[in-house]
Amino acid sequence: MDDIALNWELIGRFLGAGIALGFGGVGAAVGMGIAAGQANEGMMRQPKVQGAMLRTMLIGQAVGGSPSIFALVIGLLILFVPSSALAGSEHLLGAAVLGAGLSIGLGCFGSGLGCGWPAGAACNGVARNPRQASKVTQAMIIGQAVAQSPSIFATVISLILLFVPGVVTGWAAVGVAVGAGLAMGVGALGPGMGSGITARGAVEGVSRWPAASGQTLRTMLIGQAVGQTPAIFGMLVAFIMLFAMRDIEPGLVGFAKAFGAGVAVGFGGVGPGIGSGLAADSGCSATAANPFQGALILRTLLIGQAVSQSTAIYALIIALALLYVV
């Protein structure tokens, strides 16, 4: 029996670390590639400002690379932290580690990809408007920092999965661990990309109409923040499953419930995340073009995002019904 338990733990660790770094690296790598590609395009158009453009590209890639660094840190922890320091016991440990890998890997995929778009737009913007290079770079860094929120949530959930003992036992605990990982990880995919799309629109707007940068950045921050609501629902369901599900059925029924709730809220958040990111993207361009109507655009944007997120709310209702009602 001991032998089997040990094997489950190793399987979980290997799978978890692979998923963490595999998925977590892809997003950031693609994002950095987008930035470099746009920088090349800019160099072709404006070879004289290559110094400023190179600086913007490197800063953008460095900030945009931090989701993959989160994934690397968690991946190393998953592989090398001794079993005694981890929460849970026997085969539950394998599930917890696998859940942590799912959460961080998928969560960092979205944010990493999302951070690439504003970096690319910033390189292009510096080429278009070299005198405003510092304003454009500033806008890029702020946009990227907020676009990283989903990956920070994912890091929190995976560290909780690794280090905080669970409240349920048996098969239900396996479901809770993997379900929480899916809820957070897949749930952060869409919002990460969506926030990146929003930041891209804002950076482009700042480079075209630098005088309106204050209004544009305000619209961007609100648009990104509201667009991240699906990731927050994922985090909420993960928290509920990890800390508040003492009386879930211990057997396979509990497993199915927790797993289903995680899948519902996770995948349910992908579409709304990208959709509200697109809405906020247009909102940023509109604000940059007509800053005098900034407040009106912001209110319209907020209502539109709230409606486009109703599908994420349906997913949340289904997840909560699975956990509490059925």
Partner 1 sequence: MEQIGERLILHYVPGTSIPLPLGGVNILTVFSTLVVMVLLWAVLWLAMRRRALVPGRGQMMVELFVGAFDELVSSSLELDTREKNRKFLPLIASLFLFLLLSNFMGFVPSSYIEEPTADINCTLSLGCMAMVIATYCGARAKGTLSYFSELLGPLWSEESSTGAARVAGKLSALFFFPLNVIGELAKVVSISFRLFGNILGGGIIIIVVSTLVYHMVLPVGMDLFFVFFVGTVQAFVFTMLTLTYIAVAVK
Measured between alpha carbons, how far apart are the two ends of the chain, in Å? 34
Q: How far is the CB of 59 from partner 1 (least distance, A)?
A: 12
Nearest approach in angstroms of CB 1 to partner 1 is 28
Nearer to partner 1, 35 or 71 (CB): 71
Given phi > 0 = left and psi -120 to 50 = alpha, else beta, which region is 168?
beta
Q: Which is nearer to partner 1, 145 or 256 (CB)?
A: 145
In 3D space, the residue among 175, 169, 205 whose CA is nearest the CA of residue 297 turns out to be 205
A 10 A CB-CB count for 196 gives 34
What's the closest the beta carbon of residue 264 comes to partner 1, in angstroms?
15
Q: Which is nearer to partner 1, 127 or 197 (CB)?
A: 197
- Shortest distance in whole angstroms from residue 130 CB to partner 1: 25
- Shortest Å, Cβ 77 to partner 1: 7
Nearer to partner 1, 30 or 164 (CB): 164
| Residue 246 DSSP one-character state | T
Burial (0-12, 13-18, 19+ Cβ within 10 Å), 34? buried
Q: How far is the CB of 231 from partner 1 (least distance, A)?
A: 9
Place of tokens 């349910």: 268
Per-residue tokens: 165: 């003992």
| Closer Cβ to partner 1, 145 or 253, answer by number | 145
Nearer CB in complex with partner 1: 171/209: 209
Q: Which is nearer to partner 1, 252 or 303 (CB)?
A: 303
- Strand, coil or helix: 290: coil
The span from the CA of 219 to the CA of 288, in Å, is 9
Sign of torsion, CA 5 8 14 17? negative
The least CB distance from residue 148 to partner 1, in Å, is 8
Q: Which residues bind partner 1 (CB under 8 A)?
A: 70, 73, 76-77, 81, 85, 142, 145-146, 149, 152-153, 155-156, 159-160, 163-164, 218, 221-222, 225-226, 228-229, 232-233, 235-236, 243, 294-296, 298-299, 302-303, 306, 309-310, 313, 316-317
| Residue located via tokens 């160099």 | 43
Query: Do the Cβ atoms of 194 and 231 come closer than 8 Å?
Result: no
